[in-house]
Amino acid sequence: MNSPFSLSHDWKLHWKRIPSNINPLGYINGESPKERKVLHALAAVGIIGGKQLSRLFSLDKKRLRKMVREQKIIRHELKTGNRIITIYSLGTVGAKIADAHGYEVNYWVEYSVEDVLKRLLFFELYRHFESSLIQPAPEPFIAAISYQERPLFVYVGRGDMSDLMMFLKWQHKSFSERIIVISETIKYLDSLKPYLNNKKVRMTTDEELLCEKRSIEDMFYYLNDTGDFVKEA
């Protein structure tokens, strides 16, 4: 059975574009700690789902509509068949509050369907780390989660993982941080096996992530001495 975040679905992105001559709001209210946490997360990751915003950051629909009116976030849609996922990007006012250096209006139109799905899956993982800060991360990672005072670098694969393979191959000595890899199925991880020796890498799948009953202690795999992926717990 395909993951709800699989590329095998016929996804269509419907982006809202912001005119370059949009009038900035005269007054910016950036005092809400809850909103600031959302905006900093969006500055690091780029896209979040509407349901994820509500569940992870306790923002109701009324507050979300207000944040859209205040140009803190921008509403878009991701569709497949009759299914519509509301998604949000960082607005111009939100970028100022989050102090997002290098922010570009309409940055989101550069994202492919794959880019968006990867970011939605990042936030599915983040629900297990809700009290942790989200930090920007270099490619090929989506972002990093600050956990136990050190970053966890999160990579999300949709099939091909050649970018992560190259990273692990060439950065093996200079990069010693912890990595979490999210894949649609375990079989897609086989190509990584030659590059995982002596690496702090843990793997999980869409199914593990999306299972409401699964605890964080029971969702990760590692590569054992015989070259098999086994559950950590």
Please give the pLDDT value at position 172: 63
CATH number of 12-231: 1.10.10.10
Please give the pLDDT value at position 171: 78
* pTM for the full predicted model: 0.94
Q: Which long-range contacts (CB under 8 A, 24 or more apart) does 83-86 make?
A: 85/49, 85/50, 85/51, 85/120, 86/49, 86/50, 86/51
* Alpha helix segments (H runs only) across the chain: 33-45, 50-57, 61-69, 92-97, 113-126, 162-170, 206-210
Tens of pLDDT along the chain (233 residues)? 689 999 999 999 999 999 877 776 777 777 899 999 999 999 999 999 999 999 999 999 999 999 999 999 999 999 999 999 999 999 999 999 999 988 999 999 999 999 999 999 999 999 999 889 999 999 999 999 998 889 999 999 997 899 999 998 887 667 888 999 999 998 889 989 998 887 889 999 999 999 888 888 889 999 888 888 888 87
Q: Rounded to an integer, what distance in angstroms lies between the CA atom of residue 211 and that of residue 214?
A: 5
Please give the pLDDT value at position 94: 95
